[in-house]
Amino acid sequence: MRPALEVADIFRQCGPSFRLSHAEGLSRVQRRVMSAIELCRTAALGAHLEQCDACGHQRISYDSCRNRHCPKCQSLARAQWLERRHAELLPSTEYFHVVFTLPESIAALAFQNKRTLYDLLFRASAETLRTIAADPKHLGAEIGFLTILHTWGQNLQHHPHVHCVVPGGGIAPDGERWIACRPGFFLPVRVLSRLFRRLFLEQLRRAYDTGGLRLLGQLESLSDPVEFAAWLAPTARAEWVVGGLRQATLWRCRTRARLPGPLHPPRRHFQ
Per-position pLDDT tens, the chain of length 271: 677 888 899 999 999 999 999 888 788 888 999 999 999 999 998 988 989 998 989 998 889 898 888 888 877 777 887 888 888 888 888 899 999 999 999 998 998 999 999 999 999 999 999 999 999 999 999 999 989 999 887 776 888 999 999 999 999 999 999 999 988 888 899 999 999 999 999 999 999 999 999 998 889 999 999 999 999 999 999 999 898 666 665 545 444 433 333 334 455 554 3
Residue 64 contacts residue 40 (beta carbons within 8 Å): yes
Residue 73 contacts residue 62 (beta carbons within 8 Å): no
Instruction: List residues bridging with 147 in a β-sheet.
Output: 164, 267
3-class secondary structure, 248:
coil
pTM above 0.85, yes or no: no
Cα distance between residue 61 and residue 250, in whole Å: 32
Instruction: List residues bridging with 148 in a β-sheet.
Output: 163
To the nearest 10 degrees (0 to 180), the angle between helices 225-237 and 189-209 is: 170
Could you tell me what percentage of the chain is helix, strand and coil, using 3-state DSSP and rounding each to the nearest 5? 45, 20, 35
Instruction: List residues bridging with 167 in a β-sheet.
Output: 95
pLDDT at position 176 is: 93
- Closest by Cα among 180, 198, 199, 187 to 245: 187
Cα distance between residue 86 and residue 145, in whole Å: 13
pLDDT at position 264 is: 42
How distant, in Å, are the alpha carbons of 185, 197, 243 from that of 188?
8, 15, 10
Cα distance between residue 159 and residue 104, in whole Å: 8
Cα distance between residue 129 and residue 138, in whole Å: 11
**Helices in the chain by DSSP H: which ranges?**
7-21, 28-39, 75-86, 104-112, 114-134, 189-209, 225-237, 250-255
Residue 136 contacts residue 70 (beta carbons within 8 Å): no
DSSP 8-state secondary structure symbol assigned to residue 79: H
Edge-to-edge strands, sheet with 95-101: 242-247, 95-101, 158-167, 145-152, 267-269
pLDDT at position 16 is: 93
What is the Rg, in whole angstroms, of the alpha carbon atoms belonging to the chain?
Answer: 22
Count CA atoms closer than 13 A to 160's CA, side-chain side.
24
Contacts for 38 with CB less than 8 Å, ≥ 6 apart: 8, 11, 12, 15
